[in-house]
A and B are shown apart, each in its own frame.
Chain A
Amino acid sequence: MNLEISALKYLDEIKNENFTVEEFISKTIEHIKKIDGNLHAFLSINEKAIQQAKEIDRKIKSKEKIGKCMGMPLSIKDNICVKDTKTTCASKMLEDFISPYDATVIKNLKSEDAIIIGKTNLDEFAMGLTTEFSAFGPSKNPWNTDYVPGGSSGGSAVSVSALECIASLGSDTGGSVRNPASFCSTVGFKPTYGLISRYGLISYSNSIEQIGPLTRTVEDTAFLLNIIAGQDPMDNTTIDNKGENYLKNLDAGIDGKKIGVISEMTKNVDKEVSSATKNAIVQFEKLGAKIEEISLDMIDYSVASYYTITATEAGSNLARYDNLRYGYDFDLEGYEFNSYISKARKNFGPEVTRRMILGGFVPSAGHAGKYFLKALKVKNKLTAEINEAFTKVDLLISPTVPILPFKFGEKIDDPVALFLIDFNTVTANLTGKPAISVPFEISNGLPIGIQIHANTLQDKLVLQAAHALEKTTNLPGVSI
Chain B
Amino acid sequence: MVKIGLEIHCQLTKLESKLFCPCKADYRSFEPNTNICPVCIGLPGSLPRLNQKAIEKGTLISLALNCKIPEKISFFRKNYFYPDLPKNYQITQFDAYGHTSIGNNGKITIEGKEIRITRIQLEEDPGRLIYEGTSEKNKITLVDYNRAGTPLVEVVTEPDFENPKQVRVFMNILVDLLENLGVSEPSLEGAVRADGNVSIEGGNKVEIKNVGSFHDLEKAVHFEITRQQSLVERGIPIELETRQWDDRRKITVSARSKEEEQDYRYFLEGDIPWILLDPKYVDQFKQNMPESIASKRDRYIEQFKIPAQVADVLSSDKFYSDLFELAHNEKNAKEVANIITTDLMGFVDTKEKRQQSKLTSKHLSDLANAIINNTITRNSSKSALQEIVKTGKSLNEIITELDLGHVSDEFELSAVIEKVINEESIAVKEIKEKPETVNFLVGKVMKKTKGKADPSLTLELLKKKLKIY
Query: Once bound together, how far apart are the Cα atoms of A315 and B43, in whole Å?
Result: 16
Report if B190 contacts A (CB, 8 A): no
A232 to chain B, nearest CB (A): 9
B390 to chain A, nearest CB (A): 47
Given A80-B45, A234-B47, A324-B83, list of 9 further CB < 8 A pairs? A100-B43, A103-B45, A206-B270, A206-B271, A313-B270, A316-B77, A319-B88, A324-B143, A325-B86
Chosen A-B contacts, 16 in total, with CB atoms closer than 8 Å, are A100-B38, A207-B268, A237-B47, A237-B270, A237-B271, A237-B272, A237-B273, A312-B267, A313-B270, A316-B77, A319-B81, A319-B88, A319-B89, A320-B44, A322-B81, A364-B265
* CB-contact partner of B50 in A236, A319, A321, A341, under 8 A: A236
Which residues of A221-237 have CB atoms within 8 Å of chain B's CB atoms? Answer: 233-237
* CB-contact partner of A202 in B44, B82, B143, B266, under 8 A: B44
Query: Once bound together, how far apart are the Cα atoms of A31 and B191, in whole Å?
Result: 60
* CB-contact partner of A365 in B82, B263, B273, under 8 A: B263
Report if B42 contacts A (CB, 8 A): yes
Q: A202-B44, A324-B83, A326-B43 are known contacts. Are A316 and B267 too (CB-CB below 8 A)?
A: yes
Interface size of A by Cβ–Cβ distance < 8 Å? 44
Q: Is the CB of A87 within 8 A of B45?
A: yes
* CB-contact partner of A316 in B48, B263, B265, under 8 A: B265
B265 to chain A, nearest CB (A): 5
Q: Is the CB of B267 within 8 A of A372?
A: yes
Which residues of B228-280 have CB atoms within 8 Å of chain A's CB atoms? Answer: 263, 265-268, 270-273
Report if B128 contacts A (CB, 8 A): no
Q: Is the CB of A235 within 8 A of B47?
A: yes
Q: Is the CB of A207 within 8 A of B270?
A: yes
Report if B46 contacts A (CB, 8 A): yes
- Among A87, A320, A326, A365, find the residue whose CB has the most chain B CB atoms closer than 10 A: A320
* CB-contact partner of A233 in B46, B49, B83, B143, under 8 A: B49
Which residues of A350-377 have CB atoms within 8 Å of chain B's CB atoms? Answer: 360, 363-365, 368, 372
Query: Once bound together, how far apart are the Cα atoms of A360 and B263, in whole Å?
Result: 10
Which residues on the B side are within 8 Å of A87 (C-beta)?
A: 44-45
Which residues on the B side are within 8 Å of A301 (C-beta)?
A: none
Partner-binding segment picked from A193-201, A406-414, A437-445: A193-201
* CB-contact partner of B265 in A198, A234, A235, A363, under 8 A: A363
Query: Once bound together, how far apart are the Cα atoms of A441 and B77, in whole Å?
Result: 45
Report if A337 contacts B (CB, 8 A): yes
Which residues on the A side are within 8 Å of B369 (C-beta)?
A: none
Q: A233-B49, A372-B267 are known contacts. Are A101 and B43 too (CB-CB below 8 A)?
A: yes
A40 to chain B, nearest CB (A): 23
Q: Is the CB of A236 within 8 A of B44?
A: no
Report if A81 contacts B (CB, 8 A): yes
Which residues on the A side are within 8 Å of B79 (C-beta)?
A: 315-316, 319
Which residues on the A side are within 8 Å of B46 (C-beta)?
A: 101, 199-200
B428 to chain A, nearest CB (A): 84
Query: Once bound together, how far apart are the Cα atoms of A321 and B45, in whole Å?
Result: 12
Q: Is the CB of A236 within 8 A of B49?
A: yes
Query: Once bound together, how far apart are the Cα atoms of A234 and B273, in whole Å?
Result: 13
When C-beta atoms are compared, the residue in chain A nearest to B78 turns out to be A316
Q: Is the CB of A341 within 8 A of B38?
A: no
Q: Is the CB of A363 within 8 A of B267?
A: yes
Report if A390 contacts B (CB, 8 A): no
Q: Is the CB of A364 within 8 A of B263?
A: yes
When C-beta atoms are compared, the residue in chain B nearest to A313 turns out to be B270
Report if B41 contacts A (CB, 8 A): yes
Report if B382 contacts A (CB, 8 A): no
Which residues on the B side are within 8 Å of A136 (C-beta)?
A: none
* CB-contact partner of B44 in A97, A313, A316, A364, under 8 A: A97
Q: Is the CB of B38 within 8 A of A101?
A: yes
Query: Once bound together, how far apart are the Cα atoms of A365 and B80, in whole Å?
Result: 14
List of 3 A-B pairs having minimum Cβ-Cβ separation, nearest first = A207-B270, A319-B88, A200-B45
Q: Is the CB of B49 within 8 A of A312?
A: no
Report if A241 contacts B (CB, 8 A): no
Report if B87 contacts A (CB, 8 A): yes
Q: Is the CB of B272 within 8 A of A236?
A: yes
Which residues of A71-110 have CB atoms within 8 Å of chain B's CB atoms? Answer: 79-81, 87, 89, 94, 97, 99-101, 103
B268 to chain A, nearest CB (A): 8
Query: Once bound together, how far apart are the Cα atoms of A338 and B83, in whole Å?
Result: 10
Which residues on the A side are within 8 Å of B77 (C-beta)?
A: 316
Query: Once bound together, how far apart are the Cα atoms of A346 and B44, in whole Å?
Result: 18
Query: Once bound together, how far apart are the Cα atoms of A257 and B267, in whole Å?
Result: 40
When C-beta atoms are compared, the residue in chain A nearest to B49 turns out to be A236
Report if A176 contacts B (CB, 8 A): no
When C-beta atoms are compared, the residue in chain A nearest to B265 turns out to be A363
Query: Once bound together, how far apart are the Cα atoms of A207 and B75, in whole Å?
Result: 13
Report if A52 contacts B (CB, 8 A): no
Which residues on the A side are within 8 Å of B44 (C-beta)?
A: 81, 87, 89, 94, 97, 99, 202, 320-321, 326
When C-beta atoms are compared, the residue in chain A nearest to B87 turns out to be A320
Query: Once bound together, how far apart are the Cα atoms of A315 and B270, in whole Å?
Result: 14
Report if A203 contacts B (CB, 8 A): yes
Q: Is the CB of B270 within 8 A of A202?
A: no
Which residues of B36-59 have CB atoms within 8 Å of chain A's CB atoms? Answer: 38, 41-50
Query: Once bound together, how far apart are the Cα atoms of A319 and B86, in whole Å?
Result: 9
Q: Is the CB of B49 within 8 A of A234?
A: yes
Query: Once bound together, how far apart are the Cα atoms of A409 and B125, in whole Å?
Result: 47
Q: Is the CB of A198 within 8 A of B47?
A: yes
Query: Once bound together, how far apart are the Cα atoms of A316 and B265, in whole Å?
Result: 9
Query: Once bound together, how far apart are the Cα atoms of A158 and B92, in whole Å?
Result: 41
Q: Is the CB of B87 within 8 A of A319?
A: yes
Query: Once bound together, how far apart are the Cα atoms of A129 and B268, in whole Å?
Result: 27
Interface string of A232-247 (1 = CB under 8 A from B): 0111110000000000
Query: Once bound together, how far apart are the Cα atoms of A257 and B76, in whole Å?
Result: 41
Q: Is the CB of A99 within 8 A of B45?
A: yes
Query: Once bound together, how far apart are the Cα atoms of A115 and B172, in whole Å?
Result: 61
B380 to chain A, nearest CB (A): 59
Query: Once bound together, how far apart are the Cα atoms of A81 and B49, in whole Å?
Result: 18
Which residues on the B side are within 8 Å of A322 (C-beta)?
A: 81, 83, 88
Which residues on the B side are within 8 Å of A198 (C-beta)?
A: 47
Query: Once bound together, how far apart are the Cα atoms of A325 and B273, in whole Å?
Result: 28
Query: Once bound together, how far apart are the Cα atoms of A338 and B38, in whole Å?
Result: 25
Which residues on the A side are within 8 Å of B272 (C-beta)?
A: 236-237
Query: Once bound together, how far apart are the Cα atoms of A81 and B50, in whole Å?
Result: 22
Q: Is the CB of B45 within 8 A of A203?
A: yes
Q: Is the CB of A202 within 8 A of B45?
A: yes
Which residues on the B side are within 8 Å of A312 (C-beta)?
A: 265, 267
Which residues on the B side are within 8 Å of A103 (C-beta)?
A: 45
When C-beta atoms are compared, the residue in chain A nearest to B271 turns out to be A206
Which residues on the A side are within 8 Å of B263 (C-beta)?
A: 364-365
Which residues on the A side are within 8 Å of B270 (C-beta)?
A: 206-207, 237, 313
Q: Is the CB of A81 within 8 A of B271?
A: no
A97 to chain B, nearest CB (A): 7
Query: Once bound together, how far apart are the Cα atoms of A326 and B43, in whole Å?
Result: 8
Which residues of B169-190 have CB atoms within 8 Å of chain A's CB atoms? Answer: none
A127 to chain B, nearest CB (A): 15
Which residues on the B side are within 8 Å of A207 (C-beta)?
A: 268, 270
When C-beta atoms are compared, the residue in chain B nearest to A205 turns out to be B270
A77 to chain B, nearest CB (A): 12
When C-beta atoms are compared, the residue in chain B nearest to A207 turns out to be B270
* CB-contact partner of B89 in A97, A234, A316, A364, under 8 A: A316
B1 to chain A, nearest CB (A): 30
Query: Once bound together, how far apart are the Cα atoms of A207 and B77, in whole Å?
Result: 13
Q: A87-B44, A236-B272, A320-B87 are known contacts. Are A315 and B49 too (CB-CB below 8 A)?
A: no
Which residues of A303-338 have CB atoms within 8 Å of chain B's CB atoms? Answer: 312-313, 315-316, 319-322, 324-326, 337-338
- Among A313, A319, A364, find the residue whose CB has the most chain B CB atoms closer than 10 A: A319
Which residues on the B side are within 8 Å of A341 (C-beta)?
A: 81
Which residues of A31-86 have CB atoms within 8 Å of chain B's CB atoms? Answer: 79-81
Q: Is the CB of B45 within 8 A of A199?
A: yes
Which residues on the B side are within 8 Å of A365 (C-beta)?
A: 263, 265
Which residues on the B side are within 8 Å of A233 (C-beta)?
A: 49
When C-beta atoms are compared, the residue in chain A nearest to B44 turns out to be A202
* CB-contact partner of A201 in B42, B45, B268, under 8 A: B45
